Amino acid sequence: MRLTRDQIATARSFLFVPGHRPDRFDKAAASGADVVVVDLEDAVSAADKDRARGYVSEWLEHGNAALVRINPFETTWFEADLDTAMRYGCPIMVPKADSVAALADLGWCTAGKCDLVALVETAAGIERANEVCATAGIIRLAFGNADFGAEVGVAPNDHLALTYARSKLVSASAAEKLAPPIDGVTISIEDTVALNADIEHASRLGFTGKLCIHPNQVPIVSDGFAPSESDRKWARTVIEAGESVTRVNGQMIDKPVLERARRILGA
């Protein structure tokens, strides 16, 4: 079983599971998350890297579908991680995605086998977002708010401080005709107020999905990025009025408004 490009492009909830914890793989798959992300990078210590890769390979061998977060290009584990993902045709989450040349090489190497999700988590990555989006093989961006916040010296949950970075990813994705990006993590696992606030903020900026670090976050994220019933009602009213109508309930209706209504009903 393999995740399709369309599944990744439309997914709202992405649940990380540590690669060295095979006891959690099936639980993650049963969580209701749109995409399970088996993590070979940050969640796994150096001593456990090879063992984690073996666990992930065994799980994928049994036909399970996942997005694999590999280790960065410059690490000693990169090649083996890449080989594992390519063996099973898994989409790959690329951390520290800020070298366009390295991404282009990876896109060439994996062409036709593995789609790439670029995890942008450095200042260089943010500033090169358009080039990253335009690189062959990249199908969606994700925001690494924790690492980016640490690099620029702000808290990873500071909405105001990270607005520029988030908006840059949204704009770059739209400019290169990619699906809207995936927002970063909410570190406070049990704080549903903070999670909902993060979802609302990211959604207003144009994100349509979010990275999760605990199964309890999954249903909240999935619901939070779904169009509200009032949005769907509005969209149905616009579509049912027909393309020749120029005003609905006092609102001007033109091509961009019709396209937004279609996107809502297609979500």
pLDDT, tens only, 82-140:
999 999 999 999 999 999 999 999 999 998 899 999 999 999 999 999 999 999 999 99
Same domain? 59 vs 118: yes
pLDDT for 227 equals 76
Same domain? 24 vs 133: yes
Same domain? 143 vs 96: yes
Any binding-site annotation on 121? Answer: yes
Query: Is residue 38 within 8 Å of 56, Cβ to Cβ?
Result: yes
**How far is it, in rounded angstroms, from Cα 208 to Cα 17?**
21
Same domain? 157 vs 86: yes
Same domain? 60 vs 39: yes
pLDDT, tens only, 52-82:
999 999 999 999 999 999 999 999 999 999 9
Same domain? 160 vs 261: no
**How far is it, in rounded angstroms, from Cα 183 to Cα 195?**
12
Same domain? 238 vs 203: no
Count the domains in the chain: 2
pLDDT, tens only, 136-188:
999 999 999 999 999 999 999 999 999 999 999 999 999 999 999 999 999 99
Same domain? 91 vs 196: yes
Range of the domain at 192: 5-226
Q: What is the pTM of this model?
A: 0.89
Same domain? 144 vs 154: yes
What's 40-83 look like in SS3? CCCCCCHHHHHHHHHHHHHHHHCCCCCEEECCCCCCCCHHHHHH
Same domain? 17 vs 53: yes
**How far is it, in rounded angstroms, from Cα 118 to Cα 67?**
12
Same domain? 29 vs 64: yes
Same domain? 85 vs 154: yes
pLDDT, tens only, 201-259:
999 999 999 999 999 999 999 999 987 655 666 556 666 666 655 666 666 666 666 66
| CATH number of the domain within which 169 lies | 3.20.20.60
CA angle 126, 128, 129 (to 5 degrees): 65
